Structure 1
Amino acid sequence: MSYQNFAYFYDNLMKEAPYEDWVDFVKEIAGKHSLSGRNILDVGCGTGELATRLTKEGFQLTGVDLSEEMLEVAMAKAMDAGVSIPYFHQDMRELSELGQYDLVLVFCDSLNYLDGEEDIKKTFAAVSGHLKKDGLFLFDVHSLHKMETLFNDQVYADNGDEVSFIWNAWKGEKPYSVQHELTFFMYDKQADAYIRFDEDHEQRTYPVEDYLKWLDESGFECLEVIGDFHEAPLDTAERIFFVCKMK
């Protein structure tokens, strides 16, 4: 999957994303479990929106992403916000030499971009190597409900002055998967015209029981499974959260 163009339109696409809910969720879980420190590794950090917000809340962030273009946006955003966040270009399945953290986050359905069970288990193993003994691993994924209903033959669009997009989503060939076809139109002032960019993405999720099994096999104990920031039961939630620690 290429992020070459997508990185620069990502924040426009995600402008309605519940970033404050993610921030509040991290603060709630950190307080509930009385973590001794506030060091966070944000895996799949994207354009750094969440990392920047958490830094402003007093956490010490390190960000990791597979896309160099995403990281370029993230570093520029941190500079504009006046915060210091080290960013690293790494694959979440092969994290290395990043130190130990009180919290490791994989949010915004980043795990759903991985291609199958083995990639997820590799990521869990990579995370375990960067988590303090009493630290917590938090991640979220799309629910089966969302994949089967909200992402099934849907069209989303936004008509902005500088950036517009059309987002088509349809059921993928694999179980609980979705294909995303995104078309962006960006206004070029010099040309006085809109330039078109196209991106194709695939996501896949799994039943909660599968994630729990893979966590257990990877040495994690799952403390909580939560629907939509505590706002929905698991069978109707759009996003499922997992709160985990090492056994």
Structure 2
Amino acid sequence: MSDSAPWWSDFFKGPWLDVQRAHDDAERTSAEADFIERVLKLRPGAMVLDVPCGTGRLSLQLATRGYQLSGVDVTPALLEDARRVSRERGLAVTWREGDMRDLPWVGVFDAVFCWWGSFGYFDEEGDRAFLAAAAKSLLPGGRLLLDTHVVETLLPKFRPRDWSQEGEVVLLQDRRWDLERGRIDATWTAVRQGEQHVSHSSIRVYTYRELASLLDEAGFTIEQAYGGLGGEPFAVGSPRLHLVARKRTRS
């Protein structure tokens, strides 16, 4: 990867593909799809955009329920998985390789969701561009669901060093919270069958208020903030933020 290339352009490869695939757990996917379906108040046959879609596990699950899904991701290997599974299951999902900041649709979707902490990869200009693209893609009154971390979810439990296991991959993470930039820079060491793969990430972490301001600028009104899949209200220390916002209609 060149010095000028963004970190995420070279991140999702090697062991990280296995980490992504380890999340394709049927029970977990079904529970998350239940939540998405409920909080977005999807009507039968609704047009839904999953961005970034990764392996397409949520798009595929929602497609089995009769919704019309489109998925966008920048990583070809993940889209190959998505296309293969949709062919095997006979599901008509539209897959598109592309940047989430530059979505081609105008006024097409009833709902857009951004799952698994993908918001914040860019600088603030890039995050604004994504929200603007999502708003442009939605019909008036359409809903956006963001699944993300904010300062209020991370600060109470922040640890500079941690590890976890995803399938056959052990992940070691060294984090640095840059307070001036509002970003968490991390070095990830993925260990699989004795082999190590080192990669780096940098995530912009907003406060709830900062995120609400960005959504307002993009033409959204927040409807509800959840702290988990059980529908509990968001609060300081919640595991994650699931934020539902509605595109304002022009008077």
Instruction: Please indicate, yes or no, whether the TM-score normalized by the shorter chain is above 0.5.
Output: yes
Q: CA deviation at 1:135?
A: 1.6
Q: Which amino acid aligns with 1:182?
A: W
CA distance in 2 between partners of 1:67 and 1:127 (Å): 19
Which one of the candidate residues 177, 183, 186 is aligned to 1:177?
183
Q: 1:62 aligns with which of 66, 70, 88?
A: 70
Corresponding residue number in structure 1 for 2:169: 164
RMSD: 2.6
1:19 aligns with 2:26: no
Aligned pairs, number: 236
Deviation digits for residues 9-59 of structure 1, max 9, x if unmatched? 13355367943332111221244xx64741111011111111111112221
* Contact 1:38 1:102 (8 Å CA) reproduced: yes
Q: Is there any run of 5+ residues in structure 1 with no aligned partner, and where?
A: 188-193
Contact between 1:167 and 1:180, CA under 8 Å: does it hold in 2? no
Could you list the per-position Cα deviations for residues 53-111 of structure 1 after superposition, in whole angstroms to 9, with x for gaps in the alignment? 11122211100012222212222232343322221111111111476111111111110
SS at match of 1:180: strand
Q: Please say if residues 45 and 66 of structure 2, whose CA atoms lie closer than 8 Å, have aligned partners that are also in contact.
A: no
SS in 1 for 2:178: coil
Identify the residue that residue 190 of structure 1 maps to in structure 2.
none
Instruction: Indicate how the Cα distance of structure 1 residues 91 and 221 shifts in structure 2: closer, same or farther if over 3 A, else same.
Output: same
Q: Residues 36-185 of structure 1 correspond to what in structure 2 (within 5 A)?
A: 37-97=45-105, 100-115=108-123, 117-158=124-165, 163-174=168-179, 176-185=182-191
In the alignment, is the contact (CA less than 8 A) between 1:45 and 1:51 conserved in 2? yes
The answer on whether the counterparts of 1:145 and 1:238 sit within 8 Å (CA) in structure 2 is: no
Partner in structure 2 of residue 191 of structure 1: none
Distance of 1:203 and 1:18 partners within structure 2 = 24
For the residues of structure 2 that align with 1:176 and 1:28, how far apart are their CA atoms?
32
Q: Is residue 35–residue 135 contact of structure 1 (8 Å, CA) maintained in 2?
A: no
Equivalence for 1:212: 212
**In structure 1, how many angstroms separate the alpha carbons of the residues matched to 2:46 and 2:20?**
26
Structure 2 CA distance for partners of 1:232 and 1:152, relative to 1, 3 Å:
farther
- Give a deviation string over 1:166-199, Cα, whole Å, max 9, x none: 2214233245533333333445xxxxxx544332
Are the equivalent residues in 2 in contact too, given 1:147–1:176 (CA < 8 A)?
A: no
Q: Which residue number corresponds to residue 236 of structure 1?
A: 237
- Distance (Å, rounded) in 2 between the aligned partners of 1:177 and 1:18: 29
Q: How far apart, CA to CA, are the structure 2 residues paired with 1:52 and 1:119?
A: 28
